Amino acid sequence: MQILLENSSVAGIDQFDVYRQHGGYASVEKMLTMAPNDIVEAVKKSGLRGRGGAGFSTGMKWSFLDQKSGKPKYLVCNADEGEPGTFKDRYFMERLPHRLIEGLIVSSYALGVNTAYIYVRGELSWIITQLEDAIAEAKSHGFLGSKILGSEFSLEIYVHPGAGAYICGEESALLESLEGKRGYPRIKPPFPAIAGLYGCPTVVNNVETLAAVPWIVMHGGEAYAAIGIGKSTGTKLISACGNIRKPGVYEIALGLPVEEFIYSDSYCGGLLEGRTLKALIAGGSSVPILPAHLATTTAAGEPRLMTYESLFEGGFESGTMLGSGGFIVLDDKACIVRNTWNFARFYHHESCGQCSPCREGTGWLEKVLERIEHGHGRTEDIDLLVEIAKKIEGKTICAFGDAAAWPIASAIRHFRDEFIEHVSLAKDHV
């Protein structure tokens, strides 16, 4: 079932007239017949969870917004997608920029917001142009600006390009950057819902999260909740890449078996001929890696499903996270040590440096992994990596440190033999 990518293949769907012909902006017309709180309640009933990685209840997050301070309220769309293996937001904005604009309008109305921002990764210059064009089109047709469609509701949307810093995907660092400051994560509390952008109540939501809101308004929260399974309701965009036949972006109903997603011709199409599954990174580079036997089956012997709960079954000892939906498949010819070193290089480069455990630890992790990968490793380096990861995890202002530590700790937990083999080969060549 397609909710977000419906009509994405229609020629010209990124233009207002074509989008409108296919039902675009109908939710804006409907929202004006509803009380703002009714939309908030519908989103709560839908069970929609943040699609940027955290998976927190969207309706609950909205309900935290301070409505009594008298200060201006802001809605910020986090389009700063930069995690390795994750490209679904970019794909969506390229094809359906008006759907994101529509989601921002409806969400802003529900929250009592009159100014919204889209914070876009700076490298995506063509998408920034697309979004600005879509905003101009919507405004010229009365769906944005002062007194939308003759109502008392007004909204302005601004596109703000970032400078390509991965840390600005963290919501408080994003807000710092939006204010013109260095993208350092903020200490919480206060949370953005109380003191966010310019010290005012703010909601930050991911592209995919906001894009789901128009469908919920048109069909109801109960209809959305009926899709998926358990607390993992609705659909999810998955960025599939790695050693598969059909890399790309897929929209799935949550609850689809992982094995079906990998091997079905409707999705990834399986691995290349003669290859076997070695490992899976299910939610982008920041989540724990799973070996083949745990990628499709939980430790309890149940089929692993594409849900927040099923993927986490067994905790970090034998599970992982859905995260941002960056689905990376590794076959039997992939080197886990090299893959882990590549991730470590990324996190060292992208650390903002505010917290010393992350600033120093990520550099240390990269150096040790580089030593092992290039034939100079020592047996004690393996446990050293685990200890360094422990010294970073949970000891930083934001979750960046955890994101750097989890892939390394899990790679050694599940593939220690491969690390030992690298060290042994190094000794053989001395």
Domain range for 133: 16-226
Name the pLDDT band for 426 (thresholds 50, 70, 90): low
Over pLDDT 70: what percentage of the chain?
99
Structure tokens given for 129: 């142009």
**Do residues 87 and 169 touch, judged by C-beta distance below 8 A?**
no
Query: Which domain CATH number covers 312?
Result: 3.10.20.600
Name the pLDDT band for 75 (thresholds 50, 70, 90): very high
Same-domain status, 120 and 169: yes
CA 187, distance to chain mean position in Å, is 21
Same-domain status, 255 and 240: yes
DSSP H/E element including 406: helix 400-428
* Rounded mean pLDDT, 217-223: 98
pTM tops 0.85: yes
**For residue range 317-360, what is the model confidence (pLDDT) as tens digits?**
999 999 999 999 999 999 999 999 999 999 999 999 999 999 99
SS3 at position 65: coil
- Amino acid letter for position 224: Y
Same-domain status, 346 and 250: no
Same-domain status, 125 and 142: yes
Same-domain status, 254 and 374: no
Boundary residue ending a domain (226, 250, 282): 226
**For residue range 231-245, what is the model confidence (pLDDT) as tens digits?**
999 999 999 999 999
Query: Which domain CATH number covers 424?
Result: 1.20.1440.230
Same-domain status, 212 and 197: yes
Same-domain status, 123 and 207: yes
Same-domain status, 245 and 108: no
**Do residues 207 and 230 touch, judged by C-beta distance below 8 A?**
no
**Do residues 49 and 324 touch, judged by C-beta distance below 8 A?**
no
Same-domain status, 148 and 88: yes
How many domains does one find in the chain?
Answer: 3
Q: What is the mean pLDDT of the chain?
A: 96
**Do residues 263 and 248 touch, judged by C-beta distance below 8 A?**
no
Same-domain status, 77 and 137: yes
Residue 2 placed within a domain? no
**For residue range 289-307, what is the model confidence (pLDDT) as tens digits?**
999 999 999 999 999 999 9
Same-domain status, 309 and 347: no
Phi-psi region of 112 (alpha: psi -120 to 50; beta: other; left: phi over 0): left
Name the pLDDT band for 430 (thresholds 50, 70, 90): very low
User: What pLDDT is recorded for position 1?
Assistant: 78
- Is the preceding peptide bond at 247 cis, omega within 30 degrees of 0? no
Same-domain status, 127 and 150: yes
